[in-house]
Structure 1
Amino acid sequence: MAAKKILMLVGDYVEDYEVMVPFQALQMVGHTVHAVCPDKKAGQKVRTSVHDFEGDQTYSEKPGHNFTLNANFDEVEPENYDALVVPGGRAPEYIRLNEKVLEITRHFAQTNKPIAAICHGLQLLAAAGVLQGKSCTAYPACGPDVTLAGGLYVNIPVDEAMVDGNLVTAPAWPAHPRWLGEFLKVLGTKIEHKDMVAV
């Protein structure tokens, strides 16, 4: 299968792991990933936050790394991309106020291109109106957003992922191995492990 061109929608205080890990892992297997943020250009940075689970009633939040964008938001033409990734953190709750972000998201849903969303990323998909009839998961606090948007929210373990057609979702970053693995399958990416033969 040919390498894919993937768009990642981010903003300030995107969750650190949920932007860094897929951005690097998808490139590692040969895909092109363009990370963009409304009102920012390639070379500019977004701040990230680390959401951790430390036994409190909700996650704790700490400063993360600065993440460098590698494409210009204003130049994004969604028809030129094969798939969409929406990380979580605090970014989805405010980038969903940008009409172009919603239009971009709708393009991927309407054309049935692969979409991977994790944690609070489902807030963006709900705002774009693309969850109708879709079974999906999210950070549990986003479950009502999914339900109100017509999606079927499913509460699964934090390290699991689920697939409904073109949509791959997970509750939070502990699910990265499953979430990214399932996304690669939807993308048609095959990774083979071959036994080495000693000579």
Structure 2
Amino acid sequence: MNSISPTTEEAMAAGDHQAPDLSHLTEEEKEHQEKLWKEELVQVEDEIATLRTVLASKMRRSAELKRNLGITVWKEVSEDINQGIKNVKESNVYQTVESKVGQVTKAVTDAPIYQRTTSLIGGITGNITNKIGQMRHSESFRSIEERVGSAYENVKTKVVSRSNSQQSLDEAARSRSSSVVTSPTIPEEKPVA
């Protein structure tokens, strides 16, 4: 005899933790209902235990098969992430946002202020490029370039001469720590302007 109304069962299934109202039942009916619930509870808990055992067994077998196939946790996570990204990109929300961003970008680039700003920035960068080109051909820049090249050649010559004398790295380190280190000389032919 099931005397619980469908609305009470629905409330219990929805997570409402209120005990059903049995006040309209006789003591004998209440005891009978509680007995039915206890029997069902035992049955459900047995089923849960069986399902947990089967699930644990299946999970072990799944892990064993994955190991045999070379499927790692990292690979699974990567595939899940990639699938998630694909799902997001294919979603209507993403498509709508992408479309709106495209429309806003077009509106901004078509705006007269954007065109003027682009022209202004293009002019500024063009002027900077011209100035750098002029500076590169100046006497001062060539003088600096020659001095850097000369210093590079001095260092290169010293490194080559040391490697030719077959010094080991340890010997070179010991000789450096015991001697005064001099910097390469830079000829002073032309003053820097």
TM-score with structure 1 setting the length? 0.19
Report which of the two has the higher share of strand: 1
Structure (1 or 2) with the larger CA radius of gyration: 2
**Which structure is richer in relative contact order (CA contacts within 8 A, separation 6 or more)?**
1
Report which of the two has the higher share of helix: 2
TM-score with structure 2 setting the length? 0.19
